[in-house]
Chain A
Amino acid sequence: MHDFIGLFVGAFLVQNVVLASFLGICPLLGVSKKQSSAFGMGVAVLFVIMAASVMTFAIYHNILAPFNLQFMRTIVFVLINASFVQFVEMFIKKFMPPLYKSLGIFLPLMATNCAILGAVLINIDRRLSFGEAMVNAFGISAGFLLIIFIFSTIRERLELSSNIPKGFKGIPIALLVVGIMSIAFAGFAGMGS
C-alpha cells in the first residue's frame, strides 16, 4: 500500500507530466484560456489515459510479449489511443455539446497528445505490474488535470493584464508562467518514488 502511495505522489507531483516530463504542452497552451474547457479537457485526458492503460497493458502482455512483437508497441498503442479518442469525441458530442464546441480542434488532436501515449509507454517501459500501472496512470492524468486547471485560472487573469510587452503576449508569457510553476513544483522533489 505504501508503495502505491509513493508511486502516485511521484507521478502526480514530483515527476509531473507537464512540468517535469514536458508532455501534453499543446493542449496545455491551446485549451487553457477558459477554466471550464480546461477542466473538461483534463477530465477527457484522464478518461482516455485510464482506458488506454488497461487496453495497452492487456495487449502488450498477452499478445505482443508472448510473440516477441515488442517492437510493434508504438504502432499498436497509437492506434488504440486514436480509437479511444474517437470514442470520447462521440460521447462528448452527444452528451455535452457546449464542451464539444469549446474544445474544438483540440478534441480530435488528443489522438496525438503525447501525454496519453507517454503515459502508456511509461507503464510498459518501467515494467510495472497491473496495479502499479493503474496507479501510475491515474497519477499522471490527475497531474495533467491539476496543472491545466491551475494554469487556466492564472491565464484568465493574464489575458486581462495590459502591461505585458507586445511581443510577449500570448504563448511567450504563457511559457514563462509555466516555467515559474515548474520552479514551484520542483519543491516536491524527493517525495514519493
Chain B
Amino acid sequence: MEANADVNLAPKQDLNEVFLVGIIRENPVLVMLLSLCPILGVSSNFVNSVGMGVITGVVILFTNIMISLSGRFIPNEIRIPVIITIIATAVTIMEMLTNAFLPDLHAALGIFLPLIVVNCIVFGRAEGFALKNKLLPSILDALGITIGLVLAFGLMGFVRELLGTGAIGLLVLDLRIFPAEFAVPLFVMPAGAFIVLGVIVGIISTIKISKASKEKKNA
C-alpha cells in the first residue's frame, strides 16, 4: 500500500454514501465496537456523554483534515508515529479549550479527555480513510462518524441516566420522567455501563441476524 502516490486514491465514491455509512449501518461504537472505554466511562450522565461524543468528533474532524491534506507527504514507513503525533496535538488543543470554556465538562470527563489520543476510531479514520482520500470526502466521513458517535453516546447516556436516577438533567433543566424511588442506582454505577452496553449491542446484532435470515429467504 503506497499512501504517497496520487494514483492510489480510492476509487471515486458516492459522497452521500461516505457521509451516511458511519451514522447507523457502520456506527463506530454500537456496530464496529470501537471506543468502548470512553462510552462506558462517561455515560452515567446524558449531557457529559453527548459532550464527549462531540469532543471526539471535533478531534476526528481536525485529524482527518490534517491527514488528508498532508497524506501524500508522509512516508509509508513512519505513518503511524506521524498520525499519532497529529492526533495528540488535536487532543491537547481540545483539552485546553474545554478547560478554558467548559470547566465543568472538563472536570466530569477527567482522564477520558487526554485518553482520546488512544481512541481506536480517531486512528482508524485517519489511517484507514483520510490518508487515502481527498479533503472533501474526509470531512464528510468525519461528520458522519461524529453523528454516529453522538447518537451512540447520547443513547447510552440517556438510558443509564434515566434508569439510574429517573430524570434527565439538561444543563439547568431537570426533566423528571419517574420518581426517584423507582430508579435503580445500579445503572449509574460502573456495572450498569457494561450491562446496558451489552444489552444494546445484543439487540442490534439480533436485529442484524433476523434481517440477514429474511434476505436469505427472499433470495
Contacts and interface: CB of A to CB of B under 8 A. Distances in A.
Interface string B187-212: 00111111101110111111111000
B195 A82 contact: no
B46 interface: no
Given A112-B118, A118-B111, A182-B191, A168 B205 contact: yes
B117 interface: yes
A79 B204 CA distance: 37
Contacts of B120: 26, 112
Interface string A152-172: 000000000000011110111
A172 B199 contact: yes
A113 interface: yes
A36 B184 CA distance: 38
A144 B6 CA distance: 44
B198 A75 contact: no
B73 to A, nearest CB: 20
Contacts of B41: 21-23
A172 B201 contact: yes
Contacts of B135: none
- The CB with the most chain A CB atoms within 10 A, among B38, B41, B189, B190, is that of B190
Contacts of B115: 23, 114, 117-118, 121
Contacts of A125: 111
Contact of A172 (B119, B189, B190, B205): B205
A104 interface: no
A124 to B, nearest CB: 10
Interface string B122-135: 01000000000000
Interface residues on B, range: 35 or more
Interface string B44-55: 000000000000
Interface stretch (B19-27, B91-99, B138-146): B91-99
Interface string A109-126: 001111001100110010
Contacts of B91: 74
Contacts of A82: 81, 84
- The CB with the most chain A CB atoms within 10 A, among B84, B91, B202, is that of B202
Given A168-B202, A179-B198, A183-B186, A74 B37 contact: no
B194 A182 contact: yes
B206 A74 contact: no
A183 B191 contact: yes
A92 interface: no
A173 B198 contact: yes
B159 interface: no
Contacts of A186: 189-191
A184 to B, nearest CB: 9
B85 interface: yes
Contacts of B119: 112, 114
Contact of B118 (A114, A178, A180): A114
Interface string B86-110: 0011011001100000000000000
Contacts of A74: 88, 91-92, 95, 114, 117
26 contacts: A22-B40, A25-B36, A71-B92, A73-B114, A74-B95, A79-B84, A79-B85, A82-B81, A111-B84, A112-B118, A114-B37, A118-B115, A167-B202, A167-B203, A167-B205, A167-B207, A168-B202, A171-B198, A174-B198, A176-B195, A176-B199, A178-B194, A179-B193, A179-B194, A183-B186, A186-B189
In the A-B complex, the 9 residue pairs with the smallest Cβ-Cβ separation, listed nearest first, are A167-B206, A175-B198, A179-B194, A172-B202, A182-B191, A179-B195, A75-B88, A22-B41, A22-B40
Interface of A: 19-26, 29, 71-75, 78-79, 82, 111-114, 117-118, 121-122, 125, 165-168, 170-176, 178-180, 182-183, 186
